[in-house]
Amino acid sequence: MENSETEKLEIDLLLNAIEKCYGYDFHHYARDSFTRRVKNFLQKSNYHQISELIPQILHDKDYFKSFLLNLSVTVTELFRDPFFYKAIRKEVIPYLKTYPFIKIWHAGCATGEEVYSMAILLKEEGIYHRSQIYATDFNDLALDKAKKGIYPIEQVMKETVNYQEAGGKKSFSDHYHSDNHYVIMNRELKKNITFANHNLVTDACFGEMHLILCRNVLIYFDEILQNRALKLFDESLIYKGYLCLGTKETLMFTNINEHFERIAHQEKIYQKIMVNY
């Protein structure tokens, strides 16, 4: 059997083992991306073949959690893509201000940097006190980091430029306190954020959301899973609510494309224009 065929078989066995043992179904994740991340994890381990990972993943829950953390996409930063947050201030915030209470779902929140970015933006716009953010991910280790809101100070110093370019209205340091090594996001930013485990593959929708953000997640899904996730978002949004995707993601050629109007092209911000029946 050729190496490529052997590798495909090993990946299939790994996918089946994870689903049967832990209930995580990664069959509809983009295969090339999934394989690259498995190989990356393999390089950090004491094993040489993908199939060698399976017994330890099945019998060692902590090892599986480590594998899961490597598998999920946690590449993020505070005010990532500053132009996106500027567009939120200009195009979305004025509409959100018309509601007495605002519900936001941040799907695939990873380690939380972009969730706190939104909380800061809402606070500066004077509507955080009447907002509730639901920040979800399937990775409990990433969620634990997000809940703590503790980040290396070198990282935050670099991302201060993002905040400024995103239209920040204060000194960035007003939103956190720090020591020589770490930054801790202010407690008041955390009070209206609910962090929860949610799997876009298997779990149900969140109802009556005014704004949903799922940026740079769908690119790791195949077409079937993309459409399933987008259907969840469509069902979770109120009429005239907003859906925000990553810069390399689009609703074009998807099952819900006609339900939305793109109001910010580069930033991939969409507004729902059709009511679900």
Q: What percent of the chain has pLDDT over 70?
A: 97
- Confidence band of 15 (pLDDT split at 50, 70, 90): very high
pLDDT at 1: 46
Least confident of 157-166, 196-205, 264-273: 196-205
Q: Domains of the chain (ranges plus CATH)?
A: 3-71 (no CATH), 82-272 (3.40.50.150)
Contacts 24+ apart (CB under 8 A), 172-180: 175/116, 175/120, 175/123, 178/153, 179/153, 180/153
Mean pLDDT of 50-64: 92
Residue with tokens 């939305």: 260
Tokens of 203: 């779990």
- Confidence band of 108 (pLDDT split at 50, 70, 90): very high
Contact status, residue 117 vs residue 85, Cβ threshold 8 Å: yes
pLDDT at 45: 86
Mean pLDDT of 255-275: 95
pLDDT at 73: 59
259 pLDDT exceeds 80? yes
pLDDT at 74: 59
pLDDT at 80: 95
Torsion of CA 143, 52, 36, 243, to 10 degrees: -30
Tokens of 58: 């099945």
Mean pLDDT of the chain: 92
* Contacts of 53 by beta carbon, 8 Å cutoff, 6+ apart: 14, 38, 41, 42, 45, 47, 67
Contact status, residue 29 vs residue 220, Cβ threshold 8 Å: yes
Q: Tell me the whole-structure pTM to 2 decimals.
A: 0.87
Torsion of CA 226, 227, 229, 234, to 10 degrees: 140
Least confident of 40-44, 92-96, 167-171, 268-272: 40-44
Contact status, residue 237 vs residue 243, Cβ threshold 8 Å: yes
- Confidence band of 206 (pLDDT split at 50, 70, 90): confident
3-state SS string for the chain: CCHHHHHHHHHHHHHHHHHHHHCCCCCCECHHHHHHHHHHHHHHCCCCCHHHHHHHHHHCHHHHHHHHHHHCCCCCCCCCCHHHHHHHHHHHHHHHCCCCCEEEEEECCCCCHHHHHHHHHHHHCCCHHHEEEEEEECCHHHHHHHHHCEEEHHHHHHHHHHHHHCCCCCCHHHHEEECCCEEEECHHHHCCEEEEECCCCCCCCCCCEEEEEECCCHHHECHHHHHHHHHHHHHHEEEEEEEEECCCCCCCCCCCHHHEEEEECCCCEEEECCCCC
Q: Which of 185, 246, 256, 196 is nearest to 219 (CA)?
A: 246
Q: What percent of the chain has pLDDT over 90?
A: 73
Mean pLDDT of 127-132: 98
Contact status, residue 192 vs residue 119, Cβ threshold 8 Å: yes
